[in-house]
């Protein structure tokens, strides 16, 4: 092969490999962004659903009062005055009694209603045949109001009619929640995005409809509210957004270098064809350069793990990630630790089955999803329960085992929930032992609930959470691996970071080649007796 042709082939191979890795990184980032947008849009929809209960409850209570009291106007006025008026839930509210084919108003509070009598009577008639409250459309005139009606089926028949103003700035209090902080959004009355039925938004009308948006429909009486949301930026962070360009730039540099070296090696080979040792050495150099391109996959794996573990005053924290023996395919092991607030922190150690881009995609999805639920204040069991409905092995081809914990810095309580994962190791002044937790189904096997176990740890004790690569060896019972780890961790030494280095050198020798993820934290303080475990029922054992 001529020198020019060799350079062309090497360059083509390098560009194909680089393009494939950049496309993979871009696809992974887009998939993560799409899943994170869906999660945050669903959270926004849940907040809107909860606010709808605040509209329905006063209507239902007022209707019950009128039914029980036989249309007592004083009782109605006293109750609804708290919900009606300037800055309140409703601008007006009234009681209507149904007689024959018509209805007449008994009393009202707040501003005079804007709906015409015929429109109210039609709304009341509609409410009589509905199991929930009924809603009018948004009128084109101003001020723009939404009307509600809720009726009973008893005799005498009453209906509560109320009007709620759409804010002039198109914003309501529930949408100031942190679930909307990374989103631009719009809500519409009904199941379509008809601009005439726009209720709230944080963007100008010229920016509607939103592009690249996710959508969720929330039941709203006899109709619905449609939430459309798009990201304000990259939900997964700047690294995921820039990673394809980083991979592309590094790949192009390596490809150019490879072409240069390949051409140079070919020329040298022709000049020294009789020197077999020289030729062999030159080919080894070329193989090394190709190996550097293959290592981009490992760089991608590390990019999916936390760039740093947060510093928490009461804890000494250390972590490790060791890639499997092949070092090429991306794995699904991960760990994460975040500070929820000044009093609590949360941690996760998980392992997605299999290897490759699909496993890494699911790992990234679960990592950000569990993190989001924990930062919202959900407990470990609740977070796992919600995650169990977001992965299906029949559709995704993977399942995951996850150990989730939430710690209280004041009481030193650590609450654990386990989805098919290995139990953590507790090391205290009296030795080391594995904490028994109720082990639930792995994520992806089916929707499930997860019991919690609370552990009260003394100062100086250490909790070690890990994936199965740390204890598995070829042809060996895994119980021997647990025993070896417990024995090696009896004395962790002065620094936790050094202890993990020593544990890996002892325990991980001749393992099965699987990835290893370890997260450990130690309470800083004097040594105390054995810890106390609070079982799933809340009793101390």
pLDDT digits (tens, 9 = 90+) for 427-451: 988 889 999 999 999 999 988 999 9
309-534 is a CATH 3.60.40.10 domain: yes
Q: Does 92 or 14 have the greater pLDDT score?
A: 92
pLDDT score of 500: 92
Range of lowest pLDDT (35-39, 139-143, 280-284, 423-427): 280-284
pLDDT score of 15: 86
23: CB partners within 8 A, 6+ apart: 244
Query: Is 524 in contact with 316 (CB distance < 8 Å)?
Result: yes
What would the mean pLDDT of 405-431 be, rounded to a whole number?
A: 94
Question: Which of these, 348, 435, 478, lies nearest to 400 by C-alpha position?
Answer: 348
Taking only the tens place, the pLDDT of each residue in 124-150 is: 989 988 989 999 988 877 678 899 999
* Greatest C-alpha distance within the chain: 111
CA quadruple 21, 27, 30, 31: dihedral positive or negative?
Answer: negative
pLDDT score of 505: 86
Checking if the pLDDT of 376 tops 50, the result is yes
Q: How confident is the model at residue 31 (pLDDT cuts 50, 70, 90)?
A: confident
Q: How confident is the model at residue 272 (pLDDT cuts 50, 70, 90)?
A: low
What six digits make up the tokens of 252? 């192009």
Question: What residue spans define the domains of the chain?
Answer: 309-534
Query: Is 90 in contact with 76 (CB distance < 8 Å)?
Result: no
Taking only the tens place, the pLDDT of each residue in 148-174 is: 999 988 778 899 999 998 887 787 777
Average pLDDT of the chain is 84
pLDDT score of 141: 73
Q: Does 140 or 388 have the greater pLDDT score?
A: 388
Taking only the tens place, the pLDDT of each residue in 511-540 is: 656 889 999 999 885 444 444 455 544 434
201: CB partners within 8 A, 6+ apart: 170, 171, 185, 186, 187, 208
**Length of the chain in terms of residues written:** 541
CA distance linking residue 151 with residue 126, whole number of Å: 9
3-state secondary structure labels for all residues of 107-163: EEEECCCCCCHHHHHHHHHHHHCCCCCEECCCCCCCCCEEEEEEECCCCCEEEEEEE
Taking only the tens place, the pLDDT of each residue in 1-28 is: 677 787 788 888 888 888 888 888 888 8
Q: Does 188 or 539 have the greater pLDDT score?
A: 188
Taking only the tens place, the pLDDT of each residue in 42-51 is: 998 888 888 8
pLDDT score of 424: 97
DSSP string, 518-537: EEEEEE-S---S--EEE-TT
CA distance linking residue 359 with residue 159, whole number of Å: 56
41: CB partners within 8 A, 6+ apart: 183, 214, 215, 216, 227, 229
Q: Does 464 or 329 have the greater pLDDT score?
A: 464
155: CB partners within 8 A, 6+ apart: none
CA distance linking residue 59 with residue 127, whole number of Å: 12
Checking if the pLDDT of 493 tops 90, the result is no
pLDDT score of 293: 43
What would the mean pLDDT of 97-123 be, rounded to a whole number?
A: 87
Q: How confident is the model at residue 30 (pLDDT cuts 50, 70, 90)?
A: confident
Checking if the pLDDT of 281 tops 80, the result is no
Q: Does 175 or 434 have the greater pLDDT score?
A: 434
């Amino acid at each position: 092969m001529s020198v020019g042709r060799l350079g062309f082939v090497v360059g083509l191979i390098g560009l194909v490999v680089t393009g494939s890795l950049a496309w993979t990184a871009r696809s992974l980032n887009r998939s993560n962004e799409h899943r994170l947008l869906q999660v945050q849009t669903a959270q926004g929809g849940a907040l809107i659903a909860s606010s709808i209960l605040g509209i329905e409850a006063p209507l239902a209570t007022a209707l019950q009062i009128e039914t029980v009291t036989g249309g007592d106007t004083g009782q109605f006025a006293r109750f609804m005055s708290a919900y009606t008026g300037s800055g309140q839930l409703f601008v007006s509210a009234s009681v209507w009694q149904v007689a024959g084919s018509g209805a007449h108003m008994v009393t009202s509070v707040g501003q005079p209603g804007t709906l015409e009598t015929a429109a109210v009577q039609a709304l009341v008639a509609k409410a009589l045949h509905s199991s929930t409250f009924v809603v009018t459309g948004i009128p084109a005139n101003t001020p723009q109001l939404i009307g509600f009606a809720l009726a009973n089926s008893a005799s005498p028949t009453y209906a509560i009619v109320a009007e709620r103003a759409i804010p002039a700035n198109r914003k309501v209090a529930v949408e100031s929640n942190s679930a909307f902080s990374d989103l631009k959004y719009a809500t519409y009355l009904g199941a379509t995005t008809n601009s005439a039925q726009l209720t709230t938004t944080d963007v100008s009308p010229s920016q509607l409809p939103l592009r690249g948006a996710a959508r969720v429909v929330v039941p709203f009486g006899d109709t619905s509210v449609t939430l459309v949301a798009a990201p304000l930026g990259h939900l997964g962070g700047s690294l995921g957004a820039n990673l394809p360009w980083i991979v592309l730039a590094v790949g192009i540099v390596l490809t150019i270098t490879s072409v240069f070296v390949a051409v140079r090696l070919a020329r040298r080979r022709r000049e020294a064809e009789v020197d077999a040792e020289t030729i062999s050495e030159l080919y080894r150099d070329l193989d090394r350069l190709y190996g550097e391109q293959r290592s981009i996959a490992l760089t991608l794996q590390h990019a999916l793990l936390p760039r740093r573990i947060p510093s928490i005053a009461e804890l000494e924290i250390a972590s490790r990630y060791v890639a499997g023996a092949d070092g090429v395919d991306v794995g699904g092991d991960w760990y994460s630790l975040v500070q929820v607030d000044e009093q609590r922190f949360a941690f996760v150690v998980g392992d997605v089955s299999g290897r490759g881009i699909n496993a890494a995609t699911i790992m990234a999805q679960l990592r950000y999803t569990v993190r989001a639920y924990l930062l919202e204040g959900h407990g470990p069991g609740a977070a796992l329960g919600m995650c169990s409905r977001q992965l299906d092995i029949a559709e995704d081809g993977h399942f995951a085992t996850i150990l989730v914990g939430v710690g209280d810095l004041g009481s030193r309580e650590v609450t654990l929930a386990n989805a098919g994962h290995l139990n953590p190791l507790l090391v205290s002044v009296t030795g080391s032992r594995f904490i028994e937790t109720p082990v639930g189904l792995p994520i992806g096997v089916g929707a499930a609930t997860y019991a919690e176990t609370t552990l009260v740890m003394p100062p100086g004790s250490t909790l070690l959470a890990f994936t199965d690569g740390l204890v598995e060896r070829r042809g060996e019972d895994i119980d021997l691996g647990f025993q070896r780890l417990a024995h090696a961790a009896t004395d962790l030494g002065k620094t936790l970071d050094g202890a993990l280095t020593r544990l890996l050198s002892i325990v991980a020798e001749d393992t099965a080649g699987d990835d290893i993820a370890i997260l450990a934290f130690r309470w800083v303080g004097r040594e105390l007796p054995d810890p106390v475990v609070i079982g799933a029922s809340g009793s101390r054992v």
